[in-house]
Amino acid sequence: MTKGAKIATGTALLALGVAACGGGGGSSSSGGGDNPRAASGTVYIRGCEPQTGFVPGNINETCGGTINDFVYSKLVQYNSDTAAPELDQAESIETTDNKVWTIKLKPGLKWTDGTPVTAKNYVDAWNYTAYSPNAQLGSFWFGDIVGFDKVNTQDPDGPDGPKEAPKPETDKLEGLEVVDDLTFKVTLTAPISVFRTKLGYSTFSALPEAFFKDPKGFAQKPITNGPFKFVQWDHNSQIIVEANPDYPGPEKPKVKKIVYKMYKDDNAAYADLVSNNLDFTELIPPSALAGDKWKTDLGDRAIDGQQGVIQTLTFPVYDKEFGGNADFRKAVSYAIDRKTITEKIFNKGRSPINGWVSPIVEGFKDGACGDLCTYNPAKAKELLAKAKSEGYTPPAEFPIWSNADGTHKDWIEATVNSINQAFGPDAGVKFVHKDMPTFAELRDTITQHKIKGAFRTGWQMDYPHIENFLNPLYKTGASSNDGLYSNKALDAKLHEADTATDPAQANALYQEAEAMLQQDMPAIPLWSYGLQAGTSKWVTGVKVTPFGVLDPLSIAIKEA
């Protein structure tokens, strides 16, 4: 750069500096001792653009789910410390047989348009979500309620086929019955012990009368019943919510307004967090995690925690070549050095697990995997030899698949190395990492059962219970049983647990079921996700829920 250019740049930067100091406004970081958040009562948290509008039954991702949980109260809420389910809008949820549930609402609950929250609001919302022509993403959640097959019809040849799904007979679930304004009854096809726990999932929210008049408009500007009310959605930019003055909960919001500011790049959000322009993010970028740099940057503003997400490696057990046999899969499990990988690749941001369930949920039991989830190269070799003697010949090259649009390359390569080293050069099988370009393509290949090799799987809990990590994943024909694993004894045990009326007994049965996965090892448990979050110096009391998002009632503005 020339001298002239330098002067020009310098002047420009100077001008900019002056402009920034003068016009910084609410989010200026160059102020003195006063807290700039105090006057407006507004806090800024990191967000991202929701995939669908604010209809609870149609949201299944975190960008929309986070705000959705700020603005909708459900029958049940999960304690932000222990993840235990507690009654929220429900005054009581009673059952004698886990099959017929009577739900009573608290009196005096209101929507933000002033209308009362009624039992009919719940029944109507559930019917709407379950009815297949409404094409709601959460419809399958109502599959346990009597009459679901009459309101939700499946496409006989899948969405690819030429045939269309038949129109359902009715749009009302037979198993839902309004008893009076505040009471409704739910009848399930079979007893389900965790039904009460499930009710905290967002799909089970109610919808006000206003929704049914204009579902599309409502999705963009919903009327809600939670601690915060919806104010404004500037697409790809921000979502604003304000404290709901009518919120009846014992704990009230401590801030007036939350601005959910959308970032495309986690590093940008992090830069804003470090310079106190952003008050909360639950995503610390890998560049800051390396060498615990974020802890140095943030000091006591760093939050270290746990969340209900686990990583597993799933085998296509339906495939003769790549499904392996039980001993081969066990050998692979023995060959993975989980401890070193979590320390080296994830900087201890993830911790090894020895079971198929997240350690933070109800019903978790340590050590369900036995010693199969410990690193033991000698045993790995031994079992590999046993697998071969039983007639299984592994392919020369055994891929582990992931999607290139996610950040999985590093750990899969480390895992592949660990396996190859443990097996030794004469194993006759070499593990390799392979990528598909996008998550959509990976999922498409997996669900069509065309995948040639093992693949990475992760499970984020829908509700904090051991059942959520077993039924959807390992029951024969379950919706997310990607490897088509099937074990009659396991199915029977899970059914027994589902139908147990005593919650403690149900948990014990689920634990027995989990331990049965040891026999076949259809998926290899790897590690559970930690949680790294941070706050600005302007806020205090911040709690992060076991779902890895901000507890909106906890955040408060620090006094100057």
Of residues 437-496, which lie at the interface with another protein (CB under 8 A)? 437-445, 447, 457-460, 472, 479-480, 482
Coil, strand, or helix at residue 403? strand
Report how far Cα 132 is from the mean position of its chain's Cα atoms: 24
CA-to-CA distance for 487 and 521, rounded, in angstroms?
A: 11
Smaller CB separation from another protein, 271 or 302: 271
CA-to-CA distance for 30 and 164, rounded, in angstroms?
A: 61
CA-to-CA distance for 507 and 194, rounded, in angstroms?
A: 9
Least distance between another protein and beta carbon 428 (Å): 32
Scanning 50-58, 84-92, 187-195, 521-529 for contacts with another protein by CB under 8 A, the matching segment is 50-58
Structural contact between residues 138 and 68, judged by C-beta atoms closer than 8 angstroms? no
Q: Contact with another protein (CB under 8 A): which of 267, 347, 486, 540?
A: 267
Structural contact between residues 112 and 120, judged by C-beta atoms closer than 8 angstroms? no
Would you tell me how many other CB atoms lie within 10 Å of the CB of residue 371?
A: 12
Least distance between another protein and beta carbon 400 (Å): 16
Would you tell me how many other CB atoms lie within 10 Å of the CB of residue 122?
A: 25
Scanning 6-14, 350-358, 394-402, 502-510 for contacts with another protein by CB under 8 A, the matching segment is 6-14
Q: How many CA atoms lie within 13 A of 551 on its CB side?
A: 18
Helices 488-499 and 503-520 pack at an angle, to 10 degrees, of: 170
Coil, strand, or helix at residue 328? helix
Question: 370 to 429, contacts with another protein by CB under 8 A?
Answer: 405
Smaller CB separation from another protein, 138 or 227: 138
Question: 273 to 312, contacts with another protein by CB under 8 A?
Answer: 274-275, 277
Question: 512 to 541, contacts with another protein by CB under 8 A?
Answer: none
Smaller CB separation from another protein, 4 or 425: 4
Scanning 244-252, 259-267, 332-340, 423-431 for contacts with another protein by CB under 8 A, the matching segment is 259-267
Least distance between another protein and beta carbon 1 (Å): 5
Q: Contact with another protein (CB under 8 A): which of 38, 39, 268, 492?
A: 268
Least distance between another protein and beta carbon 516 (Å): 21
Scanning 169-177, 272-280, 343-351, 391-399 for contacts with another protein by CB under 8 A, the matching segment is 272-280
- Residue written as token pair 């030794």: 424
Scanning 4-12, 184-192, 323-331, 366-374 for contacts with another protein by CB under 8 A, the matching segment is 4-12
Residue 86 found at the interface with another protein (CB under 8 A)? no
CA-to-CA distance for 410 and 233, rounded, in angstroms?
A: 37
Name the E strands within 76-188.
76-78, 85-87, 90-95, 100-105, 176-180, 183-187
CA-to-CA distance for 246 and 269, rounded, in angstroms?
A: 32
What would the x/- binding string for another protein be over residues 20 to 49, using CB under 8 A?
x---x--x-xx------------------x
Q: Contact with another protein (CB under 8 A): which of 32, 96, 213, 216?
A: 216
Least distance between another protein and beta carbon 89 (Å): 26
Q: Which of 458, 474, 515 is nearest to 313 (CA)?
A: 458
Scanning 91-99, 239-247, 379-387, 433-441 for contacts with another protein by CB under 8 A, the matching segment is 433-441
Least distance between another protein and beta carbon 314 (Å): 9
Smaller CB separation from another protein, 391 or 477: 477
Token pair listed for 98: 């886990």
Least distance between another protein and beta carbon 52 (Å): 6
Smaller CB separation from another protein, 207 or 309: 309
Coil, strand, or helix at residue 377? helix
CA-to-CA distance for 97 and 499, rounded, in angstroms?
A: 8
Question: 311 to 370, contacts with another protein by CB under 8 A?
Answer: none
Residue 8 found at the interface with another protein (CB under 8 A)? yes
Smaller CB separation from another protein, 259 or 539: 259
Name the E strands within 355-490.
397-403, 430-436, 454-460
Distances (CA, A) of 264 to 35, 52, 335, 408, 518: 27, 17, 38, 19, 41
Q: Contact with another protein (CB under 8 A): which of 221, 264, 348, 450?
A: 264
∠ at Cα 270 (264, 275), nearest 5°?
125
Smaller CB separation from another protein, 82 or 448: 448
CA-to-CA distance for 85 and 495, rounded, in angstroms?
A: 22
All residues at 6 or more sequence positions from 286 whose CB lies less than 8 Å from its CB, including other chains: 407
Question: 176 to 205, contacts with another protein by CB under 8 A?
Answer: none
Residue 170 found at the interface with another protein (CB under 8 A)? no
How many residues touch another protein (CB under 8 A)? 78
Smaller CB separation from another protein, 52 or 354: 52
Q: Contact with another protein (CB under 8 A): which of 34, 234, 426, 559?
A: 234
Token pair listed for 429: 């099988």
Q: Contact with another protein (CB under 8 A): which of 17, 107, 166, 541?
A: 17
